[in-house]
Structure 1
């Protein structure tokens, strides 16, 4: 019991620090600071992902660093995913001994962070707040509904997830999404985006759970006391941000 209380206390303290840091960065609303923050998170995320992919590569930081540097100046950061893919493909073709797994960290998490940067660049800090609220709502709703009335297993990858919990999470996320939606988005548009982003965040969490399961680890890392690694905290956003940007571009 003492260990549980201690663990919960650490988790709460870390959560409070993360919330305060998010509020401060959001209030400053600087592209440079957001670019720098996402870049730092990306470095840690790549390190964590390589452990889950069971691969080692120092060069990946060099090539990703160049792409992230270009993302500061290039207006469509997500396009740079294809540039990096072409570089990797060329290297693999030129040097056969290069590990083909290099493509895996490109798809997850590098591509998702480029999409998050593009989301901020095009739709501002409020779009990131909207994404944050929807994913958090999905997590909160799934937890409480799943604990109180969840009975039907959702999938094999995450035995603790239930269909009832997922539905509850989507409902709560949609309510939160309607409250915090961008001013120029219609009610129907806000509902569609909230539902799609909430569902995608569920599968983002499932995908990371799948990677941890096949690599035999509990957490992606330990940089966040009580929470695990960066990917443990951002998995839902890395999927949800991609869908939010795509839908916003389609309806605006």
Structure 2
């Protein structure tokens, strides 16, 4: 019991520190600080992904990711660099015949998602990042409490603790929160629809991370965030949500 209380306390403290840091970064609200902030989590996420995909001994992923992220600071559409990274790495793998083809996986996850996240900021500003934050946080927190209180039907085999009732409850809460924090240029109906779709995407982001950890035989992707585990444990929903949100906003704005 004491361990549970201590773990919860540590988790809350870590979440509070992260929230305060993000408030500071948001207040400064410059591309450089947002890029730096996301970049720190990206490189930590790359380290964790290497372990999940079992390519720990190949350090070239850091080089590719670092170069692409540096270019992303100057390039107007960062998400497009995903394809450049894949072309370059595919070419290297084909040319050398020695590189492990699995090194391309950390480029797809999490680098591609962080590039979409950066594009979301460069195209729509910090308000949309806050919108995404509240959608994912609402879906995650809502799913936990609704699932604990009335959840009975298992959602899927990948994550036995998730229930259909919890997921639907979380998405509903995310839809309400998302509508409140949505971009003012959008109609209420559009804001609700985007919030709900992004919330569902975040659920599957969390599910994908659970799948990777189960396949790798680990409880957490890392240990950099006390009480939460690794960066990918904390950002999985955002990494899927950012991709979907950027595409949806480009469709309607």
Structure 1 residue ranges (4+ consecutive) displaced by more than 2 angstroms after TM superposition? none
1:199 matches 2:189: no
- Report the Cα distance in structure 2 between the residues aligned to 1:245 and 1:93, rounded to whole angstroms: 32
Counterpart position of 1:95: 96
Alignment of 1:48-127 (within 5 A): 48-56=48-56, 57-127=58-128
1:41-99 CA distance string (max 9 Å, x none)? 11000000110111131111111111111101110001101111111111011100110
**RMSD in angstroms over aligned alpha carbons?**
0.7
What is aligned with 1:14?
14
User: What is the distance in 1 between the residues matched to 2:64 and 2:211?
Assistant: 27
Gaps of 5+ in 2: none
Q: Deviations over 1:2-56 (max 9, x none)?
A: 1111111111111111111111111111110000111111100000011011113
User: Is 1:28 matched up with 2:28?
Assistant: yes
What TM-score results when the alignment is normalised by the length of structure 1?
0.99
The residue number in structure 1 matching 2:165 is 164
Within a 5 Å distance, the mapping from 1:187-226 to structure 2 comes to 187-226=188-227
Moved more, 217-226 or 7-16: 7-16
* Partner Cα distance (1:158, 1:244) in 2: 24
Partners of 2:4 and 2:138 in 1: CA distance: 24
Distance, in Å, in 2 between the alignment partners of 1:36 and 1:24 is 13
Shift of 1:208: 0.2
**1: CA distance between counterparts of 2:72 and 2:252?**
25
CA distance in 1, matches of 2:2, 2:165: 31
> SS at the partner of 1:161?
coil
Matched residue, 2:145: 144
Q: d(CA) in 1 for partners of 2:13 and 2:35? A: 26
The normalised TM-score by structure 2 is 0.98
Alpha-carbon separation, structure 2, partners of 1:239 and 1:20: 23
Secondary structure of the residue aligned to 2:162 is coil
Residue in structure 2 matched with residue 40 of structure 1 by the alignment: 40
Q: Which runs of 5+ in 1 are unaligned?
A: none
1:113 shift after superposition: 0.1
Deviation per residue, 1:152-182 (Å, 9 max, x gap): 0000000000000000001000000111111
